[in-house]
Structure formats: structure tokens, C-alpha cells
A and B are shown apart, each in its own frame.
Chain A
């Protein structure tokens, strides 16, 4: 049941026929796991809170560094040195106190990810390496919940929505290989990609629209164009075909 405050706050999106009151109530009941409170995690969590998602579970072991501030808009100058998850919770609760924020100040891995994602409806990829994405992908497959993959570098980004058992997964797309070192990025790039990830989450939770499934959307900020590539499940994928073990 939505309060008067919530009805007023979400009025403009409740006006969207595909959302309406039922969709808004579904958002309120939803629990979303966001892996990372950095460049992608910032716009994703802010827009999901603004839209009225009931609970955000945010995992990040890191502390805010001044070099994060060109893109990680959850964190401000005063937060340098603070734990990212605590900085994130403060901003999100200031934006919308109706959204409950649960924070996890630890590194995700295969041993803890199933416990951390307990009860979640969706997992969002806001990580900065491929190995962690494989961990999240396995958790999504085992839980049978969607995994919204996003990644960025420089002026370029990509998104796809993974539905376990139905679509290509991370293992159908990539080899588990992480190139060490920091990556270049302009802050608006994770802004664009994170907002698309948040759009996919809201669509999934409310049941509206056509999801970005089996489609890899690539954003090229240099030429300002989007390109779409088709993905398909790999019958020999060790993650989604035999990885349920």
C-alpha cells in the first residue's frame, strides 16, 4: 500500500499506463542487489531509489578516493576517505527515505554471493572486472533471477539483460580474463549506461516493455551512436549449461 507521500512522489510515473498503481506497488515490494557503488552503481542506485524500489542491497568494499569523483556521483568531496557503501546510503536515503538501503562492506566472491543476494529479485552488474561478473552471473543462474550486465571504458559502454535459462549469459559472451590496471573513463559514460541498466530493472520489475535480452547494446560516445549486436546461448557454456551444479 502506497502512502500519500509516495502517491505524490511517484505521480508522474504512475501516470504511465504500463506502470500505474500496480507497477508502483511492485517496485515498492522489490529488492535489488547492486554490486558496486562506483561509476555504474551511482546512477543505477539513485534512479532506482527515485523510482521507488523498496530495498537496495549495495555491496562495495572500497573507500572513496578523490580520483572517483569525476564519475561516482554518489560520493562528494566531503566523502573522500569514507566507506563507499556508507556514503551511498546517506545520499540515497536523503533522496528517498522510502527506499531501504542495506549495505555490504565486503568483497563479493563465490563463497558469499548466494547469501548476499538472498531474497533479491534482480542482480545489477556495477563491477569493474570480468572475474567479478562471472561470480554475479553464477549467482543469478543459481537463483534464477535476471542479471543486468553493464560495462564502460573511456567514451564507450555496453549493456545486456541476462535471463537465466532463456538468454545468453556472461559465459556465453566472454572468457574469464581480467586485464589488470585502471581504465580511462569520462563520468557521463557510466551515467548513460547505468541509467539504461536502471531502465531495464524497472521494466523487468513492472513487467513493461521489451527487455534488452540476447541483444548487446553498445554506446559510442565519440560518434554518439548506439549499435546493437545479437547474442545467443552457447550450448557448451560452462556457466549456464553445466554451471548449476
Chain B
């Protein structure tokens, strides 16, 4: 059993159109790094620089906001991570 990473629609094109990817890791960052090994094109969409998420990326763990230190957030088997995109239009 791993961690389910749910990707917003805009990111699914980088991951074989998958909505959910199973990952291993003890933090959000470890889970994302493991996913990027399989889907390297996702990196430019969610990371601003090494070890830094793009400012418009939001992370929720078990439906709770992981802001501001989302990458350091600890996760356990069975947890759900949602990666979504901030909206700014009005």
C-alpha cells in the first residue's frame, strides 16, 4: 500500500493521462520525486526550481491544505495527496 497522488486535470497530460498515481515516500517531496522518475515531464509543470514548488501549485494531504511547507509534509501509507492549480481569474 502506498500513497495516492491525485493530479489536477492540467497535469495529467504529463503522466499518461492518469488521474491518480501510487507513490512511495515519507514526505510529499519524496512521493513527487518518485513520480518524476517515471514521468519527468511533470517536473517543469509543478516545480519552480530545485526543491521549490511553483507558486501556483497547491498541495492537499488527506483533503487538508499543506501550505506553506507542502514538500516537507509527512505522509503515511494510505494517505491521499492532491496536487492542484491555483485559479486567479474572475
Contact = CB atoms under 8 A, between A and B. Distances in A.
Contact of B88 (A36, A126, A183): A183
A168 B60 CA distance: 15
Interface string A24-58: 00000000000010111100000000000000000
Contact of B87 (A126, A152, A232, A236): A152
Interface in A196-245: 216, 218, 222, 228-232, 234, 236
Given A222-B9, A229-B60, A229-B82, A179 B65 contact: no
Contact of B65 (A127, A150, A175, A216): A216
Contacts of A190: 89-90
Contacts of B88: 128-130, 151, 153, 178-179, 183
Interface in B19-55: 55
* Contact-size category for B: 10 to 19
A24 B65 CA distance: 36
B86 A41 contact: no
A156 interface: yes
Contacts of A156: 87
Given A222-B9, A232-B64, A127 B90 contact: yes
B84 interface: yes
B10 to A, nearest CB: 9
Given A175-B55, A230-B63, A150 B90 contact: yes
B68 A234 contact: yes
B56 interface: yes
Contacts of B63: 228-230
Given A177-B56, A229-B60, A229-B82, A41 B65 contact: no
A125 B90 contact: yes
Interface string A153-168: 1001110000000001
A39 B88 CA distance: 12
Contacts of A116: none
Q: Which of B55, B63, B90 has its CB near the most chain A CB atoms (within 10 A)?
A: B90
Contact of B90 (A128, A174, A175): A128
A168 B90 contact: no
B89 A39 contact: yes
B82 A151 contact: no
Pairs of residues from A and B, 7 with the lowest C-beta to C-beta distance, nearest first? A177-B55, A183-B89, A151-B87, A128-B90, A175-B55, A230-B64, A153-B87
Interface of B: 9, 55-56, 58, 60, 63-65, 67-68, 82, 84, 86-90
